[in-house]
Amino acid sequence: MTELVAFLSTGKGTWGHVNRLLQGMSGEKWEKIYLLTNDFGIQNFKAEEGVELIELTTKNLDELSNEIQTKLKEKITGMEIAVNFVSGDGREHMALVSALIKMGLGFRLVGLNKEDNVIEF
């Protein structure tokens, strides 16, 4: 099984995409799910069991990368994770990629097709 990291941030309809993504690949559940979000996401997203919301507070790109790295490094157990970039903005995505590279992790991009099945890119 694979661990999933995704942003739960801005963008119309992106929370629904992320929520459907939580169902897993080919019916197989994710080993662990980490959703990177802000205070609004913490307060308003109803996380299912097995989903950990990680609050990010920094706005500066390099500080955000460091914050993500600090908050994920003790949680990720494997050497490769699945990542979804549907929710969030370019700055957040750059910070996450930077953090994953600094942590030495490989990652696969995942998303949903028209049938709401999880696919890899």
pLDDT in tens, 55-111: 999 889 999 999 999 999 999 999 999 999 999 999 999 999 999 999 999 999 999
Sheet holding 80-84, edge to edge: 51-55, 32-37, 3-8, 80-84, 106-112, 118-120
Cβ proximity of 111 and 84 under 8 Å: yes
pTM above 0.85, yes or no: yes
Of 83, 67, 98, the C-alpha closest to 21 is 83
Would you say residue 26 has pLDDT above 70?
Answer: no
Would you say residue 27 has pLDDT above 70?
Answer: no
Ordered domains of the chain (ranges, CATH): 3-120 (3.40.1010)
Q: What is the mean pLDDT of residues 28-55?
A: 91
Residue 16: pLDDT band by 50, 70, 90 thresholds?
A: confident
Residue 28: pLDDT band by 50, 70, 90 thresholds?
A: low
